Amino acid sequence: TSPFAWLRTRFYYLLIRLYFDQEFSIEEFTRGAKQAFSVVSKLLSQRKLDLLEELVSAEVLQVLKEKISLLPDSHRDALAADIDAIMYTTEGDVRIYYDDDGRKFVSILMCFWYLNGANLPDEVPGQAKVFQIVFGDESTKEKKHLLTANYEFQREFTEGAKPDWTITRIEHPRLLE
């Protein structure tokens, strides 16, 4: 990320701590976001969308129901991210905003890079083959792909609102389009 973007996000984290949540920690948030990403991506892969109702917004869940049913098995398998297979995580955009009713929201976009061994066709653009390891002889190979995903987390900070983060955007480029 650029130095300007890094500085901007750190300024937003300071605002979150000063005006919304004095206990907010980006390190703790990132740990929780990684866990949520792993759980949600596995549930998507397994088509267990009914278990996502508490984690994902209703609008996103409706879109996912339509998209998941059309995915080939190889793409669906590639959605799953084991927490130990997450290679890199970074924050994207951070937003603080108020709606027309005066409710306060914070939104943080998280970008994940993860390894997955799904049997993706070679013509899938945009995915990178990271490992092709030979165990024993040439006939035994394990291929891993480095894939990306973007999940946006939103929390309402209005007094009396539940203190839960909800996923309001899920993108798995080239897989879930």
Query: Helix, strand, or coil here: 175?
Result: coil
Residues 103-149 have pLDDT tens digits of 999 999 999 999 888 877 655 455 544 444 333 456 666 778 889 99
Strands 128-134 and 104-116: unpaired
Intervals of the chain under pLDDT 50? 124, 128-136
| DSSP code at position 84 | G
| Residue 147, beta-bridge partner list | 114
- Model-level pTM? 0.88
